[in-house]
Structures are given as structure tokens and as C-alpha cells.
Structure 1
Amino acid sequence: MAQKVRDVMTPEPVALPLDAPLTEAARLMRDQGVGGVLVTQAGRLCGLLTDRDIVVRAVAEGRDLRGTRLDQVCSAGVVTIGPDDETGAAVRLMRERGVRRLPVVEDGRAVGIVSLRDVIPEGDDASAYTTGGELAGG
């Protein structure tokens, strides 16, 4: 029997509003031990911010980290998956989109996040599953 995304996802993902400061997201990632934060507007998912986004879109560009908001550096148009989808579908989506994380959405609400580490067979090299960084929303 195929495994479902809900069986491997991290429930209650870390989320912040679109206008939150970048430094708040970085602190949350550190304190919660996660590599991505869901970005919301009026409680609805509108983006994803990863640790790589912070490095590439903020630090490397020399942005004022204290004055930068999530809407300036997060990935928009994020691809999502449902909790009842099979993990194989998550792997295919990650491979097609070149991302390592997918928000899990049910009834329009983010209920979890699934990472490549959650769905690949143990011992496999994660880099073989994606085609390039996480700038496309992962």
C-alpha cells in the first residue's frame, strides 16, 4: 500500500505573515530547527521562504537584513500537495519543479510541510531528486 503525505509530513508548519521581518523568519528557523517558513497573507498561504532564499536573495544581494520583509525575498506561486496524495506524487513534483519542500494544503489551509528528506528512500542521495536549488519555491 502506498504511503500518504500525511504520514510523513511535519504538521503545524512554521508560518509568518507576508510583512514580517526577515530577521524574525531567520530566528524562527533557527529556534525551530527548520529550513523553511510558510508565508501567509490574511491566513492564506502565499509563499515559502527557505534558508537558501535568505542567503541568495538577501545576504548575497547585500540587503539591509533588519529592514527586509518576507514579501521582498520569499518565493511566490508555490506548488503544493494534499495530505492524502501519495508520497510518490510528492517526489515527482519536487523533481519536476526542482524543489526540496512542498507545503501540504487541505481545504485551502496549510496543514503541514513535506521535505525531500521525508519522502526519499533512506540512503538515497537527495541531490539526485532535484534539478537545481530551491529558488523555485522549495
Structure 2
Amino acid sequence: MINTARHILEVKGPDVWSISPDATVYDALRMMADKDVGALLVMEGDRLVGIISERDYARKVILVGKTSRDTLVREIMSSNVFTIHPDQTVEEAMEIMTNRRVRHLPVVAEGHVFGVISIGDVVKNIIYRQREMIKNLASKPKE
């Protein structure tokens, strides 16, 4: 079985938490805390225009002396968003995340956002698959 981004979303669920670029960073942080996520997609209607993460907040608000209540999401979001197609493999997701130094990948096809996978989702999937492989190898009859 080929393990894909689509498979991860089937297991974790397709919830997509997003915010408008015109919202305050404070509102974004509150939503991240409420949803227990480390990043939100920044959407204008159905269009993905960016991503905002806890890392963006730490580096682009706190460290430069801004305040989260007076800063808009559009001012600190990452607008160059790396995405993955639902049919790309978990290994490809890991490679993109490692090479691009990102922790969240929106799963997108033909302009439609299917969900988001995190580095934690990818690692959990790889560990599960390795355990299953070990279990299968251990249960094979010895020749």
C-alpha cells in the first residue's frame, strides 16, 4: 500500500483551521490555542494566501517589539506556502518539510485545500508503519 498525504488526512480527519489575513495576530494565537494547533492557514474565501505559525509570532512580533493585538495576520504570515498534493507519499512530505524547514504542509489539489499535515502527523505515520512491518516480519514462519 502506498502511503499518501490523503491517507494521513483520512486517519487524522480533514479539519482545516483558518483565519483571514485581516484578523489580528492575537485572534490567530487564540484560535491556535483553542484548536491546539501550531499553525493556521490564511484564507481569503476559498483561496489559500498564506500560513501563520507560532514561529512567525515569536520571530516577527515578539522579537521586534510589536504587539499581537495591533498586528494583522497579513503583516507576519508566510505567503510563500509550500503545499503537497493528496496523492504524494508520506516520504515526499517528509522530504519537503525537511528541505524547506517547515512543520506544516497544506494538502492542496486544483486550488482546493483538503487539510493540513504536520511534521508530527508524518512522524507518527512512519513510526506506525515501521511497527507494523516489524510485527509482520516477526510473525512470519521461520523457514
Q: TM-score range by the shorter chain?
A: 0.7 to 0.9
Residue of structure 1 aligned with 2:101, choices 86, 93, 98: 98
Q: Count matched residues.
A: 123
2:18 matches 1:15: yes
Say which SS state the counterpart of residue 94 (structure 1) adopts: helix
Q: CA RMSD in A?
A: 1.5
1:117 counterpart (100, 104, 120): 120
Larger strand share, 1 or 2: 1
TM, length-normalised to structure 1? 0.83
Deviation above 3 Å: which 4+ runs of structure 1?
none
**Structure 2: runs of 5 or more not aligned:** 129-143
Tell me how far apart the structure 2 counterparts of residues 122 and 23 of structure 1 sit (CA, whole Å).
35
Normalised to the residue count of structure 2, the TM-score between the two structures is 0.80
Structure with larger RCO (C-alpha < 8 A, sep 6+) = 1
The separation in 2 between residues aligned to 1:27 and 1:76, in whole angstroms, is: 21
In the alignment, structure 1 segments of 5+ residues that lack a partner are 124-138
CA distances 1:84-121 after superposition (whole Å, capped 9, x unpaired):
21111111111111111101112202110011111123
Aligned-residue sequence identity (percent) comes to 33
Task: Give the secondary structure class of the aligned counterpart of 1:75.
Answer: coil
SS of equivalent residue, structure 2 residue 52: strand
